[in-house]
Amino acid sequence: MKLEGPKILEQAGNIGVQEMRSVIDNSTTDWGSLRQSEGRESAGRRETDAMYNSVSSRVDGDVVSWGWVDGAAKYFLYQEEGTSKVASMHSLKDSTQKVLDELPRLIKNAKARIRYAAKKGK
């Protein structure tokens, strides 16, 4: 029977990445609103795609990490934590909560796969 732990961690990391990217897309700033008024698609924090595309996940043993796991430009952290001129976007906090909310479902699905495999004798 295959271990389900690594699969759960991988799924959790993917959820974290998706949520962070959603926050980056949907967390508006005054500058983003100005860009949108000039014809840009979104008022979110996705101008060059660098911050968005730098979000990834990694499983190392029994630990999953997501976010800017390969390093972050300084301005990513200014966007994340906020400054006196830019509100914080909280993508790490929001994505962590999303993963915590989804863990019971991921575990339930893993249990179902284990039961199914046990019945099949795998």
Q: Which residues contact 10 (CB under 8 A, 6 or more apart)?
A: 57, 59, 64
Residue type, 48: T
Mean pLDDT, range 19-45, rounded to an integer: 80
Average pLDDT, the chain: 89
Residue 47 confidence (pLDDT) = 77
Beta bridge partners of 65: 58
- Identify which of 103, 102, 79, 81 has the alpha carbon closest to the alpha carbon of residue 25: 79
Q: Which domain holds residue 86?
A: 5-120
Helix (H, G, I), strand (E, B) or coil at 59: strand
Beta bridge partners of 60: 63
Q: What is the pLDDT of residues 17-30, one digit of tens each?
A: 999 999 998 887 77
The reported pTM is: 0.86
Number of folded domains in the chain?
1
